[in-house]
Amino acid sequence: MARRKSSKLDGIVQLLIPPSLVLLLVVTIIELFYGVGPVLAILIDIFDIYVIAIFAIDLYFRWFETPHFFPYVKKHILDIIATIPFNLIFLGIEGLVLIRALRGVKIIARIARFARFARYGRLLRLVRFGARAPRFLRVRKHVKKAKIRKVQPHEKTMKKTLSFKVILLITINSIMGTGIWFLTSAGAKHAGPASLVSWGILSLISVYIAMCFGELVSMFPKAGGVYEFAKQSYGRFWSFVIGWTTSIAGSVTIAMLLLGALQYLIPIQYSFTYVPIAILLIILFSFVAFRGMQTSTYVLVTFALITLTAVVAIIIPGIINFQPGNFDPFFVFPTMNILLAIFFIAETFFGWESAIFLSAETKNPSKVMPKALIYGTLVIAILSFLLAFTAMGSIPWAEFSASVAPLKDLGGVHFGNVGGIIFSILIFISVIGATAGWIVTAPRLLMSIAEDKLFFTQFAKIHPKHKSPYVSIIFQAIVVSALVIVGAGSYETLLHMLIPLILIVYSAVLLSVIILRFKRPELKRPYKVIFGRVGPFVTILFMIFLLVMFIKETHSALDILRISGGLMAFGIPAYFAIELFYDKKYVTLRRNLLAHISHHVHKFPIPKPTFNKIISLVGPFTKKKNVMVYNSPMGSFTRGVVKGHIPFNKIYVANQSKEEIRIFKKKIPARYKNKISVHLLRTLNIPSKVSKVDSFISFNDLGHVKDVQVFVRDMKKVLSKNGKFCFYVQHNMVNMTPNALLVDDKKKMVALFKKEKLKVTYSRKRRLFKTRIFIYGRK
């Protein structure tokens, strides 16, 4: 009897370890990147002790599997290290500080000499995080292999409407952003006229990066973009982390562009209007994105044409009024400043990832997307160089570099005060256009991640009419609105948060080119970048240089880097949390917990109207009829039949929760026990002991079964001739069941049942945040 209790405890510990480690990961990231107060530090120490305790219990049970000292230690050495209470050791070291303070007291005078170790307390505390590392290795078994599809689900439904000219203009609009308007003066400030050399070097590097993106998108022209490249190169785990980082960077970019545009146009004394105007623009462009690519194309192309017109309109008079004397002397700063200037102007070319999100909606994307990326980058490189050249040719570089609104001042020089105002408006429209581009394209990333069941599967839903990922668009609008509120008036802070995130993402993309050249040399590459095995590595070194310059030249760079690093690191526990959510053991655990709660609060899981409707769909019941009830919560449907004195011959109850079965057996009157056969489900399959039934009722199983088609086929086998079936599905907006998208697709589900030659009706009722689906019919 004692042995059974021990094995039950072992089972509980095995269930507790993975979620506890996910929570410990979150705690560790908060400690490392953000710091904690004294109260929270005590709670973390208590939690650390709890984790050590469950590891110690786990080691106790593992001894019975390997009851020999040396083999046991060899097998479980990392788990043994994980049980060392380093947190208590470090608390003791920190306590030496108090002893040192009281060293004048004679009783503890001798002990006080050990207090010199307290000075190493902070250094030794870092070992605490290293001591946790062996524990985290226990969750690695939850890292699944990436499922590589030749065709992603969105490719079957999204319309390929974008031509080369359209995608080229959208690419230019996405990349240009704020950099071309604001950073020409920043280059002049740090390198003077020689900043033209900086623009030239940066242009060459940017074109090469665009070529690397071009090779990858020609191989994988899918809406996931950067996430898809990472999935092919690094696998499921790291692709999620990179996709997570790209998603954060996209949201920060949108908030940054909006605040930058508003700060440029509206004086600072009216800053209280920034947030409401920004949120209105987010709602407006999200509606444009929701309406689909046809509507979005008109808007984005219009913005792109306005942007190009504004740039050309400021360059032409600059050529006419050019003053060569402004470039004498050409080198006014040390040569190193040319490289320094590259860092300050690099943001001009950020945005390739935004354009490639539209690959699935582009005609012949394998050929069109690489051309659009390369030509778009070349256009921006030429325009940026000419703008810097003509600007410093029209206004002395020292005066131009001191300008807060350089293009406004340049417009004033060429066209007078009215020209300055007009160009302020044009620049505002241009930056808002870049924002619109991001709002339209970025939801495709979330959609692709959700398709691989690494996010709420509802986020992969595509609107049946407009063919847009509307749930992802709504979610993005909420997140960006929150960022605008939090970061109001902090354009520079958001920009500095963005730079390290983007540099990490771009480095991962460049490394993908090298990895795939060695890992998948057989893959067809419609476009192939030159020096593909060496060039990307050299460019990564350039990215590292930019990151070093960012740390060196940006005020509070390490603090900003810590914030950005923390946001990226949170992707790691997020990944494991999602994988555990889908794990069958934890699905059953949730059902058991809900069964406990429902039992104690006397809540009946199935509403009476729903019960009556199911009876009407699979009835009428008679004394000769056999019924199968599959995964009814706490056996509530069968209990309703018994309570309502509805006649039946036999009911087969199948449930995957032991706790629900236990409660169900208690609730059933003794006279019915011979007529009700109960089966515990180890897997979501039809129990082999079930004979023919006249009615089959299932509750929320279609979302979880491994293969819906196979499950329906097995159901058909146990169903008698003219037998009736009803699949009841209820889910909310954040439904994370693996098959949520399929179950929610009426056409696909009807076709699936008809393939098995079943007569079927699909009925769906939507309410706010809740959907009810009845799939019913007969054999």
| Closest-CA residue to 195 (of 403, 412, 387) | 387
CA 173-177-182 angle, to 5 degrees, is 135
Q: Is residue 564 part of a domain?
A: yes
Query: Last residue of some domain: 573, 608, 640?
Result: 573
Does 631 lie in the same domain as 513?
Answer: no
Long-range contacts: 514-523, Cβ < 8 Å, 24+?
A: 515/233, 515/234, 516/216, 516/219, 516/232, 516/233, 519/233, 520/232, 523/219
**Distances in whole angstroms, Cα of residue 612 to Cα of each of 162, 242, 641, 731:** 50, 49, 10, 20
Does 513 lie in the same domain as 628?
Answer: no
Q: Is residue 153 part of a domain?
A: no
> Is 190 a residue whose pLDDT tops 90?
no
> Is 664 a residue whose pLDDT tops 90?
no
Compute the average pLDDT of residues 234-245.
89
Does 405 lie in the same domain as 334?
Answer: yes
pLDDT-based confidence at residue 122 (cuts at 50, 70, 90): very low
What is the reported pLDDT for 759? Answer: 93
Q: How many angstroms from the chain centroid is the CA of residue 477?
A: 15
Find out whether 439 and 282 touch, Cβ atoms under 8 Å.
yes
Q: Lowest-pLDDT range, 39-48, 361-370, 475-484, 503-512?
A: 39-48
What is the reported pLDDT for 425? Answer: 84
What is the reported pLDDT for 134? Answer: 67
Flag whether the pTM goes above 0.95.
Answer: no
Compute the average pLDDT of residues 733-756.
83
Compute the average pLDDT of residues 458-476.
86
| Closest-CA residue to 481 (of 292, 268, 254, 243) | 254
| Closest-CA residue to 696 (of 673, 721, 668, 716) | 716
Most confident of 17-31, 249-263, 340-354, 526-540: 526-540
634: left (phi over 0), alpha (psi -120 to 50) or beta: left
> Is 201 a residue whose pLDDT tops 90?
yes
- Return the number of other C-beta atoms located less than 10 Å from residue 671's C-beta: 8
Summarised one tens digit per residue, pLDDT across range 589-615 is 665 666 556 555 445 567 888 899 999
Does 103 lie in the same domain as 175?
Answer: no
Does 242 lie in the same domain as 101?
Answer: no
Does 207 lie in the same domain as 322?
Answer: yes
Compute the average pLDDT of residues 276-303.
88
Compute the average pLDDT of residues 264-270.
78
> Is 452 a residue whose pLDDT tops 60?
yes
Summarised one tens digit per residue, pLDDT across range 43-70 is 877 888 888 888 888 888 888 888 888 8
Domain harbouring 457, CATH code: 1.20.1740.10
Does 173 lie in the same domain as 262?
Answer: yes
**Averaged pLDDT of the chain:** 82
What is the reported pLDDT for 107? Answer: 44
What is the reported pLDDT for 754? Answer: 93
| Distance separating alpha carbons of residues 622 and 73, to the nearest angstrom | 64
Q: Is residue 149 part of a domain?
A: no
**Tokens 């080119």 label which residue?**
513
Q: Is residue 578 part of a domain?
A: no
Q: Residue 68: CA atoms inside 13 Å, Cβ hemisphere, count?
A: 4
Query: Last residue of some domain: 516, 538, 573?
Result: 573
Does 174 lie in the same domain as 38?
Answer: no
Q: Lowest-pLDDT range, 8-22, 84-98, 159-173, 431-445?
A: 84-98
Q: Is residue 551 part of a domain?
A: yes
Number of structural domains in the chain: 3
What three-state secondary structure class fits 655? strand
Does 559 lie in the same domain as 595?
Answer: no
Domain harbouring 737, CATH code: 3.40.50.150
Q: Is residue 277 part of a domain?
A: yes
| Distance separating alpha carbons of residues 290 and 287, to the nearest angstrom | 5
What is the reported pLDDT for 142? Answer: 58
Does 285 lie in the same domain as 198?
Answer: yes
Q: Is residue 631 part of a domain?
A: yes
Query: Last residue of some domain: 142, 174, 201?
Result: 142
| Distance separating alpha carbons of residues 357 and 329, to the nearest angstrom | 45
Residue 500: asked if its preceding bond is cis (omega within 30°), the reply is: no
Residue 620: asked if its preceding bond is cis (omega within 30°), the reply is: yes
| Closest-CA residue to 740 (of 446, 451, 476) | 451
Supply the range of the domain harboring residue 136: 2-142
> Is 102 a residue whose pLDDT tops 80?
no
Domain harbouring 84, CATH code: 1.20.120.350
How long, in residues, is the chain? 779
Q: Lowest-pLDDT range, 116-125, 238-247, 335-344?
A: 116-125
| Closest-CA residue to 493 (of 431, 549, 568, 554) | 554
What is the reported pLDDT for 422? Answer: 82
> Is 286 a residue whose pLDDT tops 80?
yes
CA 579-582-587 angle, to 5 degrees, is 135
Does 256 lie in the same domain as 307?
Answer: yes
Q: Is residue 169 part of a domain?
A: yes
pLDDT-based confidence at residue 121 (cuts at 50, 70, 90): very low
Does 612 lie in the same domain as 529?
Answer: no
What is the reported pLDDT for 569? Answer: 87
What is the reported pLDDT for 389? Answer: 92
Q: Lowest-pLDDT range, 64-78, 90-104, 583-597?
A: 90-104
